[in-house]
Amino acid sequence: FPWTMGYQPDYHTEAVIYAKHILANVKDPKIGVLMQNDDYGKDYWEGFKDGLGKDANKVVKHVTYEPTDPTVDSQVIQLKDSGANVFFNIAIPKFAAQAIRKAADLNWKPAHYLNNVSSSVASTFKPAGYENGQGIITGLWLKDPTDKQWNDDAEMKTWREFMGKSMPGANQDDGNYIYAYSVSFLMEQTLKKCGDTLTRENVMRQAANHQKLRVPLLLPGITVSTSPTDFYPVQAVQLARFKGETWERFGDIMAAESS
């Protein structure tokens, strides 16, 4: 796609990082996977298998759900009954919250890895019950407006001021506004680099020429780098563990090649 460039870390890379962390940190892992049955879920699933490599047989149960399903309760029961001691939760917030709550109801306490798609404190952990989400691990790359640790953060304060002036009626708990603000900054920087040559070719040329650019609201230590052969602006995450009502980051910034 020569005229297309994404922004966030791709699902495949994120899943590779989880897989390698599991192999390095869980003794004798028996992995259960819940996956949304569409391209989003399959991207994570393929990356996860690639990350496991020769240890792909550590997956003892793989179940799917449809976005139209009312709940994923039966799937979580199957995963628990499989004897899995690791749970890779590839679900959007509604179903991720259901799975977290159901695992708690069943007193099933695996090492729980949650895709970044459902890392929102407000959208996933509040409805799941904060007490049920303790210890869950995810990969973060963007600041969460509902996470209290960023209340006094300078970038978050600037964003809230912008929202108050430009979009006074908007829900500031919606992380999509954080995403849009951050990616818009990158577009602004790209256009500035174009100067007066605002052709499609030059826009793409400049978009593919960022080196370790600090973009507002990315996690500390995560920057944007692109090249003519690398159309993935953000390729790193930092693992975090849910504690109390917030994410507690740990370890180094990780990309697929460093995991």
- Looking up residue 60, the CATH number of its domain turns out to be 3.40.50.2300
121 and 213: one domain? no
pLDDT (average), residues 205-226: 97
34 and 156: one domain? no
Please determine, for residue 258, whether its predicted confidence score (pLDDT) is greater than 50: no
Spatial separation of the C-alpha atoms in residues 161 and 167, rounded to whole Å = 10
Q: Is residue 153 part of a domain?
A: yes
Q: Is residue 136 part of a domain?
A: yes
Please determine, for residue 259, whether its predicted confidence score (pLDDT) is greater than 50: no
Please determine, for residue 250, whether its predicted confidence score (pLDDT) is greater than 70: yes
86 φ, ψ to 5°? -135, 140
Q: Is residue 119 part of a domain?
A: yes
Instruction: Say which residue, 146 or 213, is predicted with more confidence.
Output: 213
Q: What percent of the chain has pLDDT over 70?
A: 98
215 and 170: one domain? yes
21 and 124: one domain? yes
Spatial separation of the C-alpha atoms in residues 54 and 40, rounded to whole Å = 24
146 and 213: one domain? yes
Instruction: To the nearest 10°, report the CA torsion of 232, 237, 242, 248.
Output: -140
Q: In terms of residue numbers, what domain contains 154? A: 142-233
Task: Give residue 191's pLDDT.
Answer: 98
129 and 240: one domain? yes
212 and 243: one domain? no
200 and 253: one domain? no
Mean pLDDT of the chain: 96
pLDDT (average), residues 207-219: 97
Q: What is the amino acid identity at position 187?
A: M
Q: Is residue 217 part of a domain?
A: yes
250 and 123: one domain? yes
Q: What percent of the chain has pLDDT over 90?
A: 94
Q: Is residue 249 part of a domain?
A: yes
Strand 111-114, strand 86-90: pairing: parallel
46 and 73: one domain? yes
Q: Is residue 71 part of a domain?
A: yes
183 and 168: one domain? yes
Domain count for the chain, please give it. 2
Task: Give residue 2's pLDDT.
Answer: 87
Q: Is residue 129 part of a domain?
A: yes
Task: Give residue 256's pLDDT.
Answer: 59
31 and 122: one domain? yes
Q: Is residue 2 part of a domain?
A: no
